[in-house]
């Protein structure tokens, strides 16, 4: 049996309190590698890493980062799918006292370049298949390490590990409120903002995820959800906390997922409704002989989807959160007296966003004065959160942080009602954000891209409901006088500017509705598109 070379922390120096250890998810790995050294930590195709092997790789990566000049608080960027290297980074970067920036691989080259520059990373790790995304980028100031994701000695990432010593894991951050990661989110201003997570928040959210999903050392977690979304909703850390098994996945392919559920004995996976819909409707979908638990967030699941999942013996847990809350922060906790409801009623109940996790403060719904709205399931207000699983702030954007944190609560920009039973249900969005397949899209960002086309005079983008993706952007465009351009031309133009998933699927040409003072009335456009829907989000 191979032994962990890290194990218990050495006796601390100085006057640190015996009864206090700074909370950090790094300790989840330290412990699991010590207690379960031979247990399978990571599965990736034919590759298997035990917990002690994972820990060794993490220690080498951390040591390599430090050898390459990483200083305390420096950012390290990763651009990769759900592969072992990115999971390792979730421990190695903080263990080297750095801050992990896992970049959304669905963004455009320009967007990625913006994030890499904004976060100030001087080290970037890139999966080889994503190389084209860097071509448009000037990376002269940054050190790039390629990941072939082969696991073999000629993989540059593996060479990086081999060249580094196996230093012991650090004993933890100096302060549990130090940053552990930054996750960029589409802001309403059009430019992504860097949401700062702390060691403490990551630790406490991870424990709540374990409790919500009832994970144990017997759990096998399939990585259908991108690790670049809120650090995989903190499951990068949660699965390790219980010494479960991470099953990696380069891309979401429903047939492959059904196969892995079978061959790897998967017990848990997560995904937005779009992924879930793809799964349940796949020809390989079949009723499982054991219950698999799935967390659904990003948009409320439909009654049809809930029923389909349950028929397949997949237990859905509907949760809600934002990048600013470490991913999911609330869940629609089930009450036994709902067991007697009809399937339709149950689906309606379960589609609510519910109330906060045990490590979060209870959510509120407030009016513009910051006061609670009545719990009448009718009065709309903004959902606000506070407590240990709210971000520390937006990186180098004190004004945006202060605005989001006004009145001492984080303002989600999500509009909803408060039910008599204290549960929250979303109805609309104050922010100009579209959520499509679990990905945030800023309408302003899309408008700016469309408007850059020389034929466009002005433009407004709104979300429209979509069966597959939940919501999709639709552009309303007024052309300059005497100019002609097709819908296809504008869409293709956008695809050069911003991520493909952000580009409108449809363009409608014509005048835009305006107020007497000339302001575009986006709500008029939205109302037209959503007139047959009860809510204004999907």
Interacting residue ranges for a second copy, rule: CB under 8 A: 1, 3-4, 7-9, 11-13, 16, 18-21, 23, 27-28, 30-31, 34-39, 177, 198, 200-201, 207, 210-211, 214, 216-217, 241-243, 333-337, 354-356, 358, 361-364, 370, 375, 386-388, 390-393, 405, 407-410, 420-422
Cβ closest to a second copy, residue 169 vs residue 475? 169
Cβ 500 to a second copy shortest distance, Å? 34
Q: Are 231 and 187 in contact (CB under 8 A)?
A: no
Cβ 12 to a second copy shortest distance, Å? 5
- The C-alpha atoms of residue 397 and residue 448 are separated, in whole angstroms, by 21
Cβ 379 to a second copy shortest distance, Å? 16
Count of other CB atoms within 10 angstroms of residue 260: 22
Q: Where are the beta strands (DSSP E) in 132-262?
A: 143-147, 179-185, 193-198, 220-222, 245-247
Q: Which residues contact 412 (CB under 8 A, 6 or more apart)?
A: 322, 324, 325, 382, 383, 384, 385
Give the DSSP letter of residue 350: H
Cβ closest to a second copy, residue 303 vs residue 370? 370
Q: Are 276 and 228 in contact (CB under 8 A)?
A: no
Say how many CA atoms lie within 13 Å of 393 toward its Cβ: 14
Cβ closest to a second copy, residue 14 vs residue 510? 14
Tokens of 363: 């959510």
Cβ closest to a second copy, residue 410 vs residue 476? 410
Cβ 408 to a second copy shortest distance, Å? 5
- Determine the 3-state secondary structure of 411 from DSSP: strand
Cβ 473 to a second copy shortest distance, Å? 31
- The vertex-335 CA angle with 329 and 338, nearest 5°, equals 125
Q: Are 421 and 258 in contact (CB under 8 A)?
A: no
Say how many CA atoms lie within 13 Å of 169 toward its Cβ: 33
Cβ 363 to a second copy shortest distance, Å? 7
Cβ closest to a second copy, residue 407 vs residue 492? 407
Cβ 16 to a second copy shortest distance, Å? 7
Cβ 92 to a second copy shortest distance, Å? 20
Return the exposure string of 225-245: e unless at least 16 CB atoms fall within 10 Å of the residue's CB, then b: bbbbbbbbbbbbbbbbbbbbb
Cβ closest to a second copy, residue 123 vs residue 359? 359
Cβ closest to a second copy, residue 10 vs residue 153? 10
**Smallest Cα–Cα separation from 457: which of 447, 443, 445?**
447
Cβ closest to a second copy, residue 211 vs residue 491? 211
Cβ 265 to a second copy shortest distance, Å? 12
Q: In the 3-class helix/strand/coil scheme, how is 243-289 assigned residue by residue?
A: CCEEECECCCCHHHHHHHHHHCCCCEEEECHHHHHHHHCCCCCCCCC
- The C-alpha atoms of residue 162 and residue 184 are separated, in whole angstroms, by 31
Cβ 175 to a second copy shortest distance, Å? 12
Cβ closest to a second copy, residue 177 vs residue 466? 177
Cβ closest to a second copy, residue 387 vs residue 437? 387
Cβ 207 to a second copy shortest distance, Å? 6
**Smallest Cα–Cα separation from 195: which of 88, 93, 326, 104?**
326
Cβ 18 to a second copy shortest distance, Å? 5
Sign, Cα dihedral of 278, 440, 491, 461? positive
DSSP notation for 351-372: TS-BEE-TTSPPPEEE-TTSPB
Cβ closest to a second copy, residue 4 vs residue 108? 4
Q: Which residues contact 79 (CB under 8 A, 6 or more apart)?
A: 103, 105, 112, 124, 125, 126, 127, 130, 133, 134
Q: List beta partners, residue 42.
A: 49, 246
Cβ closest to a second copy, residue 239 vs residue 446? 239
């Amino acid at each position: 049996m191979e032994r962990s070379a890290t194990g218990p922390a050495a006796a601390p120096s100085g006057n640190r309190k015996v009864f206090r250890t700074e909370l950090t998810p790094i300790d989840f790995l330290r412990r699991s590698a010590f207690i379960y050294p031979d247990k399978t930590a990571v599965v990736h195709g034919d590759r298997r890493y035990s917990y002690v092997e994972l820990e060794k790789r993490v220690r080498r990566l951390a040591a390599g980062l430090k050898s390459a000049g990483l200083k305390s608080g420096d950012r390290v960027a990763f651009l990769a799918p759900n592969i072992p290297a990115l999971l390792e980074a979730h421990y190695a970067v903080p263990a080297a006292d750095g801050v992990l920036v896992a970049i959304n691989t669905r963004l455009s080259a320009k967007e990625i370049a913006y994030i890499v520059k904004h976060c100030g990373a001087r080290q970037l790790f890139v999966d080889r298949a994503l190389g084209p995304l860097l071509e448009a980028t000037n990376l002269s100031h940054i050190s790039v390490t390629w990941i072939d994701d082969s696991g073999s000695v000629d993989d540059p990432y593996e060479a990086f590990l081999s060249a580094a010593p196996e230093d012991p894991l650090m004993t933890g951050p100096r302060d549990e409120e130090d940053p552990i990661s930054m996750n960029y989110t589409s802001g309403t201003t059009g430019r992504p903002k860097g949401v700062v997570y702390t060691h403490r928040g990551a630790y406490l959210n991870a424990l709540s995820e374990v409790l919500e999903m009832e994970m144990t050392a017997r759990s096998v977690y399939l990585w259908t959800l991108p690790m670049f979304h809120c650090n995989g909703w903190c499951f990068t850390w949660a699965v390790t906390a219980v010494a479960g098994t991470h099953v990696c996945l380069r891309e979401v392919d429903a047939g492959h997922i059904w196969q892995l559920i079978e061959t790897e004995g998967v017990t848990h996976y997560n995904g937005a409704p779009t992924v879930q819909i793809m799964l349940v409707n796949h020809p390989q979908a079949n009723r499982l002989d054991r219950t698999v638990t799935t967390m659904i967030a990003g948009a409320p699941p439909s009654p049809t989807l809930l029923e389909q999942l349950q028929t397949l013996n997949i237990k859905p847990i509907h949760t809600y959160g934002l990048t600013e809350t470490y991913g999911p922060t609330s869940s629609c906790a089930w009450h036994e007296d709902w067991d007697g409801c009809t399937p339709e009623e149950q689906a309606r109940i379960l589609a609510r966003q519910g109330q906060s996790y045990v490590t979060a403060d209870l959510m509120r719904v407030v009016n513009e004065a910051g006061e609670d709205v009545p719990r009448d399931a009718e009065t709309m207000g903004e959902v606000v959160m506070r407590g240990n699983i709210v971000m520390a702030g937006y990186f180098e954007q004190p004004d945006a942080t202060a605005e989001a944190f006004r009145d001492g609560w984080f303002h989600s920009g999500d509009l909803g009602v408060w039910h008599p039973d204290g549960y929250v249900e979303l109805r609309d969005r104050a922010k100009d954000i579209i959520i499509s397949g679990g990905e945030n899209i800023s309408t302003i960002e899309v408008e700016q891209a469309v408007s850059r086309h020389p034929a466009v005079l002005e433009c407004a983008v709104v979300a429209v409901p979509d069966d597959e993706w939940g919501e999709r952007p639709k552009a309303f465009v007024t052309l300059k006088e005497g100019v002609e351009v097709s819908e296809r031309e504008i869409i293709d133009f956008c695809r050069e500017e911003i991520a493909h998933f952000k580009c409108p699927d449809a363009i409608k040409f014509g005048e835009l509705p305006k107020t007497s003072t000339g302001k575009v009335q986006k709500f008029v456009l939205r109302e037209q598109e959503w007139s047959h829907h009860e809510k204004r989000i999907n």
